[in-house]
Structure 1
Amino acid sequence: MTESTAPPPAHGHDPHTGGSGAQSSASAVKETRLTNLKTNTAYLALGNKAATKPSSVATRSVLTTFRYVFRYMIRRMFRVAKYAAIGGAIAFVGTGVLGALGTGIAWFAAPSMGMGIGMGISWAIVKFTWRHRPERFRGGWWSEMAERAFEGRDPNKDEEADSEAADAAVQQKMENKRLRQDVWARAETV
């Protein structure tokens, strides 16, 4: 991938190898390829911090691009793995808790015998309260309206009386509020 910085071997006899020129050129090519591979691998792993850099700008740019893409993919995989691990842990704990609590709650919440028991208990409580506390539910404004209707009172006069009573209650509240806000008025009334 990169250009070699070493000079090409001379034709003929190589003094270092002691053999013919054909063998020396093959070993030089192997050594050049191995050197280039080591240089490219070091640059791919370390980037600009590598001791030697490829001499070709195109090779450096390809290796830098591949390095950035590879690092991005590794970071993405770790991020996805982290989210998957957190989700798995939450699911594991959640199913354990729901399994422990859900078995006790599910029989009551599901529309089955438990639901029938719950509805029966609720109905018994309502019925008992209605029978034993009639003034609480059946008394009050409803019984007063029924009495007025049976007595034959004029509904308009009843409405006027109710509105006057309501106005008087509002006036009393306003007076109480004014007295609470006015410090000097409190001192006079005490």
Structure 2
Amino acid sequence: MAMAEPTAVLPPAASNPPFQSTTLQRTRANLSFLVNPSTAPAPASRRTRAFLRTARYTLKFIFWRLVRYAKYAAIGSLTALVAGSAIGSVASGAAFFIAPTGIVGGAAVGLLWGVGKFGWRRLARKAGKGTGDARRDERDDAQGEKIREVQEVQEKREEKGLRSDPW
């Protein structure tokens, strides 16, 4: 019987070059990239990077969707709590405006809200101008607001001088 020559066995440190990392190290790096891609080093594989970014966006979407539903559940439970109390029995007449029933009721309250919001903005704009002069307001209504706005811009330019922008 011939005796076989012994083969040289390399130590584990010599068989793995230093640039290769273990599975645990790669997993940690990938998880840190998943948590915050702007600070963590990106994985070398484009496929891994794309998967991790997609997973990050999907997880963020699911998280915020769950937060939204939890908020809805909390508001619903608070509404049920108030409705079951003495306040709910007193405020039952206002319930239509708080939570209208049906499509027509919702549309009516939405229209009322939109008209109120438009009127409030217009009132705030008039109050912001600081007119306060009834004669001037009547004249503005007769001339139209656009003509008055153009005149005010011209007056401001004459006071401050014409401004030239570099672009």
Q: TM-score, normalised by structure 2?
A: 0.42
Q: TM-score, normalised by structure 1?
A: 0.37
